[in-house]
């Protein structure tokens, strides 16, 4: 899963924004139309469109901000440590 590479804080941030977006979509598509059959109607279409655009922008911003992975150690660090361990082992064998 791609979220496994993110820190806990970043995963929570993405999840919260996604939950708000999905929650709004579900409520505005299932709950509100049952109570107000004319939803969003002529008066509410502007507000509905603005909320949709704001939530969409919030989700994109959350992906850009929270979707960064942790920095990894340089690749050349691990072989250097392994080489030092090999030299130490060789020195011990030569000394015996």
- The domain of 76 spans 2-95
- Which H or E element spans position 47? helix 41-66
The confidence score (pLDDT) of residue 89 equals: 60
Q: How far is CA 50 from CA 28, 29, 53, 61, 77, in A?
A: 13, 16, 5, 16, 50
**pTM metric for this prediction:** 0.66
pLDDT of 86? 65
pLDDT for 88: 63
What is the structure's pLDDT at 69? 74
User: Residue 65's pLDDT is what?
Assistant: 92
Number of domains the chain contains: 1
Q: What is the mean pLDDT of each run of 10 residues along the chain (96 residues)?
A: 74 94 96 93 94 97 87 61 62 61
With a CB cutoff of 8 Å and minimum separation 6, the contacts of 28 are: 39, 40, 48
């Amino acid at each position: 899963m791609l979220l496994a590479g993110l820190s806990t804080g970043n995963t929570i941030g993405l999840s919260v924004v996604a939950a708000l977006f999905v929650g709004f979509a579900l409520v505005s598509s299932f709950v509100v139309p049952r109570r107000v059959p004319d939803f969003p109607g002529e008066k509410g279409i502007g507000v509905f469109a603005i909320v949709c655009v704001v939530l969409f922008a919030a989700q994109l911003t959350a992906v850009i901000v929270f979707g960064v992975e942790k920095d990894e150690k340089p690749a050349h660090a691990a072989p250097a440590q392994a080489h030092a361990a090999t030299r130490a082992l060789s020195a011990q064998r030569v000394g015996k």
